[in-house]
Structure 1
């Protein structure tokens, strides 16, 4: 019910790491935010005042547990944070955070040389009709989620919620009227728009950014653009 849905690449993936010229379609202004390379984390706020912590795939800790799953350092980093957040009202509210730095991922050295850890908020979902959803089996919930059943806050609502929770958002880079189209044009655009990360945690960080996430203000369209994908595509093209 609260697992974060997969985000498509802006240029769809083809065979053997290449990209297709076909893209996710955006209509209207597009907000570009930094895609931080860490681990997707969930703080699930329940209407009875309890909370649950999770990675993207697993639930790791519930309020009051004596022992939590230490995977990826999520519980250690976020348990105290979750305990201080306001109670959800008549819904399940899920804050999605990117936890990064430390030894969390192979890219951690891009953000820190001293194994510092931090997190950034990138989305919030508000789930109502809880009693109905809890009657569904896992396969039904997965279909509900994959077909847009979760309701996410729009950009302005997300900014206000971040203030209320005391969270920093993933960096807002800029807003553009339209996305670049071709693969080569998009790769050049990516290098220009985010030459280095905006969330380095200390001076020794290597500073390479993973890429960006593009979304409309209403969040009706969303896609990720990663340097890795465009670099791999270019390498494949050169070798052919």
Structure 2
């Protein structure tokens, strides 16, 4: 029996939304949910090469390219626009920033769902926008791409099972080389690449990690104009194959170290 062609109009959009959400990234040092402080020495383990990229303070966005030639735009939590819509949800400026970009993307190659994950920032997106622009400019940076070949099986699961699949690492991401190639092919600016180090050389102490962040990212590399404040949010640590990933934010270390010094 021949498999039916995908049709977004007949798809379960709730399941599709869940399948293509970006999962939460753990903090490099364990974050205590009770007080928001980081725990000394308890880190995400890395081995081999580790790539450091700038973590941009904006809003998570998605371009979801579908097998039938259509695309959807989404924020971290919800779908905002479908190809051909006259009106899109204006939430956080995602549609305004990405609609023309999505319309210019080549369709997916084969029976897969492809998701470009981007950070839309600047403008009035977050309270930190002034760190990237003084003229309310809006920009975006690509930070991951997932290509989901078994999307039919995933979409057929119960809601809780789709969430567990996603949060358990089910989304297949491009490795660093393929991600860089895709960004160049489609003209997407990547989140700035800062360094490569061996996992054994990453600091484990809180104060040394804070110094490590300042050394490698003294100011943002994602400024949109000369009037930007320049204060960065943090660094994302990731293996070249993206099997391990963690985030380290200046604010988390500053808050923890202040409390410890009292």
The Cα of 1:147 is off from its aligned counterpart by 1.2
Number of the residue aligned with 2:254? 231
Correspondence 1:17 to 2:41: no
- Render the CA deviation track for 1:143-180: whole Å, top value 9, x for unaligned: 11111111000000100010111101000001011311
Number of the residue aligned with 2:127? 106
Number of the residue aligned with 2:16? none
Contact 2:206–2:257 (Cα < 8 Å) also in 1: no
Number of the residue aligned with 1:42? 62
TM-score, length basis structure 2: 0.90
Alignment of 1:102-141 (within 5 A): 102-141=123-162
The Cα of 1:205 is off from its aligned counterpart by 0.7
Number of the residue aligned with 2:75? 55
Aligned equivalents of 1:130 and 1:68: distance in 2?
25
Alignment of 1:1-240 (within 5 A): 1-14=19-32, 15-21=34-40, 22-89=42-109, 90-178=111-199, 179-239=202-262
The count of corresponding residues between Structure 1 and Structure 2 is 239
Aligned equivalents of 1:215 and 1:180: distance in 2?
15
Contact 2:72–2:83 (Cα < 8 Å) also in 1: yes
Aligned equivalents of 2:151 and 2:237: distance in 1?
30
Aligned equivalents of 2:107 and 2:78: distance in 1?
22
Point out where structure 1 has 5 or more consecutive residues left out of the alignment. none
Number of the residue aligned with 2:13? none
Aligned equivalents of 1:78 and 1:226: distance in 2?
26
The Cα of 1:47 is off from its aligned counterpart by 1.2
Q: Secondary structure at the match of 1:235?
A: helix
Q: Secondary structure at the match of 1:225?
A: strand
Aligned equivalents of 2:235 and 2:260: distance in 1?
23
Contact 2:58–2:125 (Cα < 8 Å) also in 1: yes
Aligned equivalents of 2:96 and 2:241: distance in 1?
33
Q: Secondary structure at the match of 1:189?
A: helix
Q: Secondary structure at the match of 1:214?
A: strand
Q: Secondary structure at the match of 1:152?
A: coil
